């Protein structure tokens, strides 16, 4: 069976979602040196917030907004409270974020129960349209478009604004930036909040076609880890390449090697890490 256009689209739309989630992850990892293992929990939380808002208001757009703002706020609190205590200790930050993930997920279970929910999409995005030689769901094409827009927006932010310039400089050498008289803490905070908001956006986007349920956080986290590790810490382009690779590998793995589906993703990732520990586009610090 060949890789027809249908499977190709499946891979690409999944990749778009992975990019949205992983771009936030990689920015935080790149600049703050925090491997935020609570990123998946933020994704799930965003999805739930978006779901509740969309149900209450009947508006998908408001759901997206609520998710991004709500999760950004959680990110802000996280950065200003808990992470304060462990600043500068890479491993303590990782393990602390792991604890945060456990607590957030459990809280979500208490608040939303264990049912699986799907964020309702607007009528405009329902149904399928003819694409190439097949029919394809509009919503998934919308996710693909959102992924591309997110990439462009982030690229412009990083390459055309002062904040972006500071972030890029900070990824390469945070101390240099600080020495030049910039309050790097503010840049850190902005990045953390932005990265969290992207997780929230991903939660609503994914929650509308992959459903929200306990343990959805771990699944998306593992995929995002793979994307960031393959792409390289802090690299937006790397995250995009990583997302497309993981998205396509995942689709191909399930179609061609169902027994080895996970191996198809994590085998190459482990091999890559072993020989290029910094990922495809990662740079040494």
Q: Is the dihedral of CA 69, 154, 171, 245 positive or negative?
A: positive
Size of the site for other proteins (CB under 8 A): 80
Minimum Å gap between C-beta 158 and other proteins is 22
284 binds other proteins (CB under 8 A): no
Q: What is the DSSP letter of 280?
A: S
Query: For residue 229, what are its two tokens?
Result: 């590790």
> Could you tell me which of 55, 186, 176, 35 has the C-alpha nearest to residue 112?
55
DSSP of 185-199: HHHHHHHHHHHHHHH
Minimum Å gap between C-beta 229 and other proteins is 5
**Pick from 69, 169, 209, 283: which binds other proteins (CB under 8 A)?**
209
Q: Which ranges of 58-137 would DSSP assign to H, the alpha helix? A: 60-80, 90-112
19 binds other proteins (CB under 8 A): no
For other proteins, give the closer residue by CB, 1 or 175. 1
Stretch that binds other proteins, among 42-50, 137-145, 148-156, 171-179 (CB under 8 A): 137-145
Q: How far apart are CA 214 and CA 198, in angstroms?
A: 20
User: How long, in residues, is the chain?
Assistant: 285
For other proteins, give the closer residue by CB, 160 or 274. 274
226 binds other proteins (CB under 8 A): yes
280 binds other proteins (CB under 8 A): no
Minimum Å gap between C-beta 104 and other proteins is 8
225 binds other proteins (CB under 8 A): yes
Stretch that binds other proteins, among 117-125, 147-155, 172-180, 238-246 (CB under 8 A): 117-125
77 binds other proteins (CB under 8 A): no
State the Cα angle at 25 between 23 and 29, rounded to 5°. 115
The interface with other proteins within residues 28-47 (CB under 8 A) comprises 33, 35
Minimum Å gap between C-beta 160 and other proteins is 30
Residues in CB range of 277: below 8 A, 6 or more apart:
none
Q: How far apart are CA 78 and CA 41, in angstroms?
A: 13
């Amino acid at each position: 069976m060949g890789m027809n256009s249908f499977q190709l689209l499946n891979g690409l739309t999944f990749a778009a979602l992975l990019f949205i989630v992983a771009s936030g992850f990689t920015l935080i990892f790149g600049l703050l040196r925090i491997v935020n293992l609570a990123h998946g929990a933020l994704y799930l939380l965003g999805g739930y917030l978006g779901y509740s808002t969309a149900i209450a208001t009947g508006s998908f757009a408001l759901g997206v907004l609520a998710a991004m703002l709500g999760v950004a706020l959680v990110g802000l609190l996280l950065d200003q409270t808990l992470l304060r205590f462990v600043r500068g200790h890479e491993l303590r930050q990782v393990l602390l974020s792991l604890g945060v993930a456990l607590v957030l997920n459990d809280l979500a279970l208490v608040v939303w129960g264990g049912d699986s929910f799907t964020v309702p999409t607007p009528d405009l995005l329902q149904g399928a349209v003819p694409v190439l030689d097949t029919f394809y769901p509009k919503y998934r094409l919308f996710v693909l478009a959102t992924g591309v827009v997110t990439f462009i927006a982030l690229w412009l932010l990083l390459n055309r604004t002062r904040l972006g310039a500071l972030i890029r400089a900070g990824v390469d050498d945070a101390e240099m930036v600080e020495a030049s008289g910039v309050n790097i803490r503010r840049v850190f905070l902005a990045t953390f909040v932005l990265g969290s908001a992207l997780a929230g956006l991903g939660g609503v986007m994914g929650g509308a076609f992959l459903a929200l349920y306990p343990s959805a956080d771990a699944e998306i986290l593992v995929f995002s880890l793979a994307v960031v590790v393959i792409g390289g810490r802090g690299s937006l382009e790397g995250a995009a390449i990583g997302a497309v690779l993981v998205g396509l590998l995942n689709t191909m793995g399930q179609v061609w090697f169902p027994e080895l589906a996970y191996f198809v993703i994590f085998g190459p990732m482990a091999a890559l890490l072993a020989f290029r520990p910094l990922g495809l586009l990662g740079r040494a610090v």
